[in-house]
Chains A and B, each alone.
Chain A
Amino acid sequence: MTDATTENAPYAFVRKETLQQEPAPLSVAGPLAWIRTNLFSSPLNAILTLLCVWLVIDTVPGLVRFYVLDAVWTGTNREACLADKVGRPVGACWAYVADRTQYFIYGSYPVAERWRVNIVFAMFALGVVWLLWNRAPLKKVGVFFFFVIMPASAFILLLGGPRAESFLRFLILATFALAVIYLVLSFAPGLMKFWIGEGQLAVEEAMPAWQRFYRPKRLILLSLVVFGLLAVLADKIGLPRVDTGLWGGMTVTFLISAVGIVFSLPLGVLLALGRRSRLPAIQLLSVIFIEFVRGVPLITVLFMANTMLPLFVPQEYSPDRLLRPLVGVALFAAAYMAEVVRGGLQAMPKGQYEGAMSLGLGYWQMMRLIILPQALRIVIPGIVNTFIGLFKDTTLVAIVGIFDFLRTIEATLIDPTWATPVTRSTGYAFAAIFYFLCCWGMSRYSIAVEKRLAAGQKR
């Protein structure tokens, strides 16, 4: 039977037009239904809901009153936050945080030199955005900036003094030397034959001289600009030495995290490659290192770095008190990073390795050009999560006497200027908010990357 026949048929019970859609019954739509299904679906659920609501009502208003409504926002010393001086119940003493912000950020770093810390902060932020923002241009230059230029500049700027300046001079000389070498090679690529091979040489020779070796030249140019600017700064304003004992606060917290990530990631990649190596000695050494470090708490590693590192080197090279935990943290993070990277390496299909080998690539070329770019990309969430752990673990350096952010808070708590009954809860709340925002932000980023990576896998 065709549609035409039914349409023409004079059946009274056949409806000709579509009915208007009826609204959903009240029991499955609207706020009431939502409340019923999500809050009171069963007697047990109803009890639990009421219990939770009571819990929230019991705690939240008290917290809001303490930290916002009754809080003291302005003041210059403890008098502002003492209930009997102010004449009203006093909540959190945010005036104390406001008063001590500079100390929380810079520690005891000399006030006149804090602009140097600010520059390092700016470079760190630039490097992070460059690497993490998906659409940022020139990622490879960004990697070079983050892992080479930024650490070197940070060392020079933060420490200062003759040692940093001679290091800067050495860096500028080295960059100039490299620039000259590349200039020569751009005009005489034949000199590179033994390194790049005949095939690549033919490709290079087909290009005009200014285009050859374009990419390394960008890196050199960037280094020259940055180091040149630093040299101008050192020359015009001067970079007097600031002893590491004066460093503190968020500066040190960020410094330790930055050192952790800058050194642990490359080291972790090497260790992961070593663990997957076919050479038994290399594999064994990597496994021993990774499992050893992952089996002990960070505190013992820090104790080891603090007490044993000075023993392991000749007396005259005894490492700086800040350098010791930095070494410990970097090695500790490297072992965890190695396991994350190993996960990425194992997730690569075998075809990728075979494809690379059948193209005639050697081990390092295969890893650098084919495997690692893919493997590292899929473990970005894992790397970020490890980094969150590292960031939280930086608080432990306080145990070996480094003034990180948490330790500066502890230090201000025993300062009589702000000794009030509410100072402690205010300081801890401030620290908690700081760490929460940093870690939570990073975990949001990691989730976003995960979603972006999964987008390609969706069916």
Chain B
Amino acid sequence: MSSIPTEQVSPGKASLLYDPRIRGYVYQIALVAIVAFLVWSAASNAIENLRAQKIASGFGFWHNAAGFDINQKLIPFSASGGSTYGDAFLVGLLNTLLVAALGIVFATFLGFFIGVARLSNNWVIAKLAMIYVEGIRNIPLLLQLFIWYNAVLKPLPNPRQSIALPGGTLLNNRGLYLPDPQLGPGGNLIVWAFLIGLVATFIFRSWAHKQQAVTGRQYPIGWIALGLIVVLPLLVYFVTGRPISFVYPELAGFNLRGGIQIFPEFVALLIGLTTYTAGFIAEVVRAGILAVSKGQTEAAHALGLRNGPTLKLVVIPQAMRVIIPPLTSNYLNLTKNSSLAVVIGYPDLVQVFTGTVLNQTGQAVEVVAITMAVYLTISLVTSLFMNIYNKRMALVER
């Protein structure tokens, strides 16, 4: 140690090589230069290769006619009707959003149910919930989709031997056939009554909450909501002379005619995504409820609240703070996992666009870039909304 020459140490006169600011600039410039070089060489190689393979570039293919059909579509699409690749993109996107939205709703209910069940005092229920969670979480989603699609739905009987479910619903290996409701004259009124009931419920609910905050009086929100949302449309239904009729699926030749056909690919994907994500949501919910300290429950009981109100007013609002951030990422995972649709042939964005359109046009760069941009946008928008919601729910410390 004595060999260190102390007289040379003079602050502020270090060599430029050791100046952290200079070093920082050098590192950053070097990194940016490397990244820029990689991007540039990738781009120039891509241009070269595309020219060699005679593949067009640019987004001109968007308006070209698509030469294929898609079985499940929310907007009109047909090869003979002159639909374009752009239409195919929209069909795929809507199918992705449809399965993701339904999956999120179902997975949330199932996940909350199972998460609470795992904490149940009832030994059998808790164990069954544990087996469900462990089993679902440790088996790849892809395998689960194969099981639902190939091992459960495909071996169902053919349309001639359809399984009849209650309510005129038929199940066979071509899908689930539901009765198709037809609105007669005045049928629109029922829809309107339902919507009005929904809006009125929301208005009443916020009014009741305000009243409770001011006067302490509680109103039976649940009953009034039931009346507005269920009873009011029913009333209109009977008053207008029961204008809704159903077209039931019927056997015609080797296939069924009439009714709403839900394709087995959609059913398999929805069941697979729901059950898989529910396993993860259950764990999130369990962790959230466990994070609320027992003292909160005991204090609520000491104040005279019964079990129901304790859960509703004390435990769940606090648990939600812990639950929401991971819940959001599970919603996003579900949306991203819906891209596994490609293996069972459900026409989602990836199957239609990154699969068929990419194969037909060969424009890999554009197609993959658009697909990624869609998922990125969905992710970013969802996180944005969830962050806003999270901020509102977050603990305000005094």
Among the listed B35, B134, B147, B375, which residue makes an inter-chain contact with A296, where contact means beta carbons less than 8 Å apart?
B375
> Does chain A have a CB within 8 A of B124?
yes
For chain A residues 295-312, which have a beta carbon within 8 Å of chain B?
295-300, 303-304, 307-308, 310-312
Query: Which A residues lie within 8 Å of B28 (CB)?
Result: 279-282
Q: Contact check, B45 vs A303: say whether CB atoms are below 8 A apart.
A: no
Q: Contact check, B124 vs A296: say whether CB atoms are below 8 A apart.
A: no
Among the listed A285, A297, A399, which residue makes an inter-chain contact with B336, where contact means beta carbons less than 8 Å apart?
A297
Q: Contact check, A282 vs B31: say whether CB atoms are below 8 A apart.
A: yes
Q: Contact check, B143 vs A296: say whether CB atoms are below 8 A apart.
A: no
A371 vs B138: C-alpha distance in the bound complex, in angstroms?
32
Query: Which B residues lie within 8 Å of A440 (CB)?
Result: 134, 138
Query: Which B residues lie within 8 Å of A282 (CB)?
Result: 27-28, 31
* Given A49-B122, A52-B124, A285:B375 Cβ within 8 A: no
> Does chain A have a CB within 8 A of B141?
yes
Q: Contact check, A300 vs B27: say whether CB atoms are below 8 A apart.
A: no
Q: Contact check, A300 vs B372: say whether CB atoms are below 8 A apart.
A: yes
Residue-wise interface mask of A (1-45) relative to B, using a CB-CB cutoff of 8 A (1 in contact, 0 not) = 000000000000000000000000000000000000111010001
A41 vs B120: C-alpha distance in the bound complex, in angstroms?
11
Q: Contact check, A436 vs B151: say whether CB atoms are below 8 A apart.
A: no
Interface stretch (choices B9-17, B46-54, B173-181): B46-54
A392 vs B375: C-alpha distance in the bound complex, in angstroms?
21
> Does chain B have a CB within 8 A of A396?
yes
Residues of B within 8 A of A (CB): 1, 3-4, 24, 27-29, 31-32, 35, 41-42, 45-46, 48-50, 52, 121-125, 128, 134-135, 137-143, 146-147, 150-151, 336-337, 339-340, 342-343, 350, 354, 358, 364-365, 368, 371-372, 375-376, 379-380
* Given A281-B31, A428-B143, A299:B339 Cβ within 8 A: yes
Chain B residue at minimum C-beta to C-beta distance from A442: B138
Chain A: residues with Cβ within 8 Å of the partner, total of 57
For chain A residues 47-62, which have a beta carbon within 8 Å of chain B?
48-49, 52-53, 55-56
Query: Which B residues lie within 8 Å of A298 (CB)?
Result: 336
Chain B residue at minimum C-beta to C-beta distance from A440: B138
A396 vs B340: C-alpha distance in the bound complex, in angstroms?
8
Chain A nearest CB, measured from B37 CB (Å)? 13
Query: Which B residues lie within 8 Å of A263 (CB)?
Result: none
A-B contact pairs, 23 of them (CB 8 A): A38-B121, A38-B122, A48-B124, A52-B128, A278-B24, A279-B28, A280-B28, A285-B31, A285-B32, A296-B336, A299-B339, A300-B368, A303-B350, A308-B368, A311-B365, A315-B48, A395-B142, A396-B340, A428-B143, A428-B147, A439-B138, A439-B139, A443-B138
* Given A297-B337, A312-B42, A313-B45, A37:B365 Cβ within 8 A: no
Residues of A within 8 A of B (CB): 37-39, 41, 45, 48-49, 52-53, 55-56, 198-199, 202, 278-282, 285, 292, 294-300, 303-304, 307-308, 310-315, 388, 392-393, 395-396, 398-399, 406, 410, 424-425, 428, 431-432, 435-436, 439-440, 443
A279 vs B24: C-alpha distance in the bound complex, in angstroms?
6
